[in-house]
Structure 1
Amino acid sequence: MSVSLERLALTDVDIMDALLEKIYQYFTFRDDDNPTMSSQSPYISFINPGMGIGEKDVDFNIYSDVGDLEAKDRHALFSQMVNSIPESVGFWQSTDIKVWDIYQKSITNIKLASSQLTTDEKKLLEKCEKIITSTNTKKYLKYQNLYLKAKEEFTMVRLNALRKKDPASIQIWEVQGERLTLNKNFAFKQWVSEGLKNKYEEAIATIGMLTERGPNVIYDNLKSRFQESFEKTPGMGLDFYHTYIYPPKILSSEYSDRWVEFSFEESERHEYNSQSSTSYGGGGGFSTFGFSWSAGASYSRDMQREQCEIHSQGFSIKASFLQVPIIRPWYSSYIYKSRGWKWVDEITTPISTGSIPPNEEVFMPIVPNSIIFAKDIEVTFNKEDELTKKALDVIKGKGSVGFGPFSIRGNYSHTSSSSSLDYEETNTGIKSTGIQLFAFVCDVIPKSPNPDPKLFGEAGFVKTEENLFSGLNIEPFSIDQLTRFLQK
């Protein structure tokens, strides 16, 4: 029994949503062998379509002040972009309100419980601050990157075996599964031993624990670090706060082996049916299956895009992905778990309600914590189909062309550097090789502010261990236990 193209076209759009769902599961696949401290599922904000980006656009010589004015301009533009606060519905858009705007409010326009740290607690705070140095941060990030690569290689093969359930995918897992598992677990152990993972994270958690008390000394440190990160570019006159990715030359050929291949096929549409639709942006956001285009080549939040539909017979897509953490030296996320502060009376809007999407107006429900880059997009489809032929003819003369969430053509100018994406037709579809900024993986901010009423009562309050660790994803150590741990 044949299926009419008209009927098929009505369901083709589901494939795009299934594609986003698989990408979401790929980047959030839980490593049961090596559980991390945070158990909360992240949110992924997809850019539609991706934005072309060049090697120099992310290289500002991290942790050093250079006299290169063009590099500072690139740094400012990059910082402005990755600190846009994404909407928790729909696709990503650049916004005027930045993470640093809300963070500044969160450490200045507030009332603190203002309890005093003991002498031992002050010593512990100093010890933790010494652990979180730029040198240790580099070690942490270096081995985190190696673990992410090993985990993603493992995840792609494992996910295909679990979801596709076809003999070929299962056989690949049977052949490669043991090696990939060993590589992943070894990379995690290296992160712990060489990258100081546990000690580094416990130091941050300890400072977060002490912050629960609302001591002025910690907030004075936060304000000082925030101001030290401020800069205005001489050339463009842009205000920004230093924000990086690591390593700085991650898009160069030096790190070509860091990319991991991803694939999706038409037959997988039934395996990925928007199970996490509130955990990523764009679910249900496609109205057609096929190409989108605009006359201009530059990305704009107000860009009007038109769409060309094609049919999905024989559709598959391959892409290479790279996930890289975002580093903000001025930002301490633990303040949003603290119950030792509240807004000044003039501010009533929450930072976050902890729900996605928020059930009321909020300042910052999610914060980008890493970037997903994409390249080497290969799309396979039925080129003999008349609707597909028509679509290919339409997009030939367009400046900016996308296929689903991927950009396949566009010219992008970033001050002193420029990048371009373009596609070529192949025997089975199209291919586009340039690098693009594809999505942001975001932390979901818990309910904040969430002041403990006992801390702000007239009678005062002495915090217990249970209160001390409220909202933190760590076990309640005593101060003595934490000190002994950090001395190891």
Structure 2
Amino acid sequence: MADEKDYNAVLYEKLYSKLAVALGVGSPERDSTIGESLLSIYNPGQYLPVGLDPIANPEDDQEISQIFDTAPMFNFTYSPVNLRVSQAYSSILQYKLYPIADLSPQEKQKLADAQKSYEELAPACDAAEDNYWDARIPYDEAEANYANGTGPAPTPAMKRAVERALEKWIAAGKIKQETNLAIIKQLQGRDGSAFWDRLDTLFAENQRKLKSGATFPPVTLAPKYNSWFKDAGWTKFSFDQKDMNNQSTSNSIGVAGSLDGKFGIVTLSGSGDYKQDQEYIKVQQTELTFRCELMRVTISRNWMNSLVFNSRAWKFDPTAPSAKYSSGGSIQDRIVPVGPFVSIPTTVILARNVEIIGKFQDTVEERMKRELAANASLGIGPFSISGNVSYRDRKETIKGTIANNLITIKDTQIIAAISQVLPELPNPDPNLPWPT
């Protein structure tokens, strides 16, 4: 198997690897900011509900927020765990045990100054960081094309755009924020109940109320939902036979999961939602070209202090549903984490205007056309060709087209998530003054 790897698996892994390079996943710049990141691609993509108004309508906001409240397994193919991000965080707030406060007056002031500075700089600094990664996508994609012999090197204009974006991020407070975060990480967990009271207040005050009076934890997305269906903000991506031949395999492959021996690049489900009767269809070796437009969407959670996940100043009390969320994982060190909550999504990748060019064997093409006509869910790699979108009492079937060696998919869909790999969680420091 190692010598004669199935074409379907190789195609999937090479396409994944180029997406990872084009999106800057695993780059030193990204990992130094939030720790190791894992790209998980959907198999296949998930269509999005269209025509919602999450700003004016809290029910629409809840619908969108629930899509991005899932957390994936440690796998390069996206597979959600049962525990939602908001549930995992709420459980920490409910069942945490923390050390006795032991900050000196000078340390309290130092912590207060760092927190104030961080909060003041956050809006502009976070926006500048988003702009930096937006500038990196066309640069990194061009660099990947050049390395694979499928296109020219990044242009001087692309390089200048990245440099200017980095300069603006630095001017907005990048270095100061790194200092603030270091101080906060060092001191905030030793602030006792004062620290956790602030987190409880933050969580409660940032819930959104539905018309029924119930509340939910909303997500903040950049760009916003209504931008996803407009022409601005999209970057071109391509993958062809030269990429297939020359793309090096991502370090995540083999650490973050592996493909089933039955895997086929075409996925279908008669239920229309990939949740029942899912099966793979293998294709024979052929030359395929994938083209699409990508958009990077950053996920923020105003009700959450994500520094809790790196803090060594808490642990679960004995009544908690789980004593440990994660054993801690590492792509670089090839450590697979164990636990119910091992990574947290920070970014999703959208795709639209997908074109897949190439000839399939007749039996596969006939099967795909037949399933498409029957409103089954049908996908190829990370791209959904047809599938259902359900929203409350509304259900829509979205379809691409298959004709003349060309698969066309116009609609916007989620094809990947970039997640922060969580450390051992919790990982309490035994030298802190824990209550007996």
State the distance in 1 between where 2:337 and 2:287 align.
43
Please report how far the alpha carbon of residue 203 of structure 1 lies from its aligned counterpart in structure 2 after TM superposition.
3.0
In the TM superposition, what is the alpha-carbon distance from 1:238 to its structure 2 partner?
Answer: 6.2
Partner of 2:18: 22
1:266–1:312 Cα contact (<8 Å) kept: no
CA deviations over 1:50-77 (Å, ceiling 9, x no partner): 11114555x533xxxxxx4xx2112222
Q: Which amino acid aligns with 2:163?
A: N
Count of residue pairs brought into register by the alignment: 428
Which of 313, 317, 336 pairs up with 1:340?
Answer: 313
Gaps of 5+ in 1: 1-7, 62-67, 461-488
Q: Give CA-to-partner distance per residue, 1:182-213, whole Å, 9 cap, x none.
A: 211111111222x4333344434432221242
Give 1 or 2 for the bigger CA radius of gyration: 1
Residue aligned with 1:23, SS? helix
Provide closer, same or farther for how the CA distance between residues 151 and 9 of structure 1 changes in structure 2, counting only shifts above 3 A: closer
The residue aligned with 1:185 is 163
Identity, % of aligned positions: 19
Q: 2:91 aligns with which of 94, 105, 127?
A: 105
Q: Which residue of 1 aligns with 2:366?
A: 390
Q: CA deviation at 1:353?
A: 1.3
Q: 1:429: which partner in 2?
A: 406
Q: Following the alignment from structure 1 to structure 2, what is the Cα–Cα distance between the partners of residues 238 and 91?
A: 34
Q: Do residues 257 (structure 1) and 250 (structure 2) align?
A: no
Find the partner of 2:67 among 81, 84, 87: 81
User: Distance between the aligned counterparts of 2:359 and 2:256, measured in 1?
Assistant: 29
Indicate if the aligned counterparts of 1:409 and 1:422 stay in contact, CA closer than 8 A: yes
For 1:352, give the aligned amino acid. S
Q: Which runs of 5+ in 2 are unaligned?
A: none
Higher mean C-alpha displacement, 385-394 vs 177-186: 385-394
Q: Partner amino acid for 1:332?
A: N
Query: Where do 1:47-446 residues align within 5 Å?
Result: 47-54=42-49, 56-57=51-52, 60-61=54-55, 68=56, 71-89=57-75, 91-133=77-119, 136-162=121-147, 164=148, 166=149, 169=151, 172-173=152-153, 176-193=154-171, 195-235=172-212, 239-249=215-225, 251-252=227-228, 256-270=231-245, 271-273=247-249, 275-278=251-254, 280=256, 283-285=258-260, 287-297=262-272, 299=273, 302-347=275-320, 349-355=323-329, 361-382=338-359, 385-399=361-375, 400-415=377-392, 421-446=398-423
- Shift in Å, 1:367: 0.7
Structure 2 equivalent of residue 45 of structure 1:
40
Deviation at residue 285 of structure 1 after TM alignment = 4.7
- 8 A Cα contact 1:242 1:328, kept in partner: yes
CA RMSD, 1 decimal: 3.2
Deviation by residue 1:338-391 (Cα, 9 ceiling, x = unmatched): 2222222344621211126976752311111111111111101125x4334433
The 10-residue stretch of structure 1 (137-146 or 430-439) with the greater mean CA deviation from structure 2? 137-146
Distance of aligned partners of 1:274 and 1:37 in 2 relative to their CA distance in 1, 3 Å threshold: closer
Determine the C-alpha separation between the residues in 1 that align with 2:403 and 2:65.
37
Contact 1:43 1:443 in 2 (8 A): yes
- The CA distance in 2 between the partners of 1:366 and 1:36, in whole Å, is 14
Deviation per CA, 1:327-348: give whole Å up to 9, x if none. Answer: 1012122122222222223446
Deviation sequence 1:33-63 (CA, Å, 0-9, x none)? x677437331123222211114555x533xx
Distance 1:16 1:209 in 2: 42
After TM superposition, give the deviation of residue 435 of structure 1 in Å: 0.2
What is the DSSP-based 3-state SS (H/G/I as helix, E as strand, rest coil) of the residue aligned with 2:190?
A: coil
Q: Deviations over 1:250-282 (max 9, x none)?
A: 53455x33211111123433534453215656x
| Contact 2:95/2:319 (8 A) holds in 1 | no
Are the aligned partners of 1:44 and 1:279 in contact in 2 as well (CA < 8 Å)?
no
SS in structure 1 of the partner of residue 373 of structure 2:
coil
> Any idea what the Cα deviations from partners look like across 1:120-157, whole Å, max 9, x if unmatched?
33333333343444x85442343223211210110011
How far, CA to CA, are the matches of 1:90 and 1:150 in structure 2?
24
Question: Within 2, Cα distance between the matches of 1:320 and 1:231?
Answer: 33
Match of 1:262, SS?
strand
Judging changes above 3 Å, is the alpha-carbon distance between structure 1 residues 131 and 250 closer, same or farther for their aligned structure 2 residues?
A: farther
Question: SS of 2:339's equivalent?
Answer: coil
8 Å Cα contact 2:132/2:162 also seen in 1:
yes
In the alignment, is the contact (CA less than 8 A) between 1:375 and 1:434 conserved in 2?
yes
Find 2:432's aligned residue among 446, 455, 465.
455
Distance 2:261 2:125 in 1: 38
Write the letter of the residue equivalent to 2:409.
S
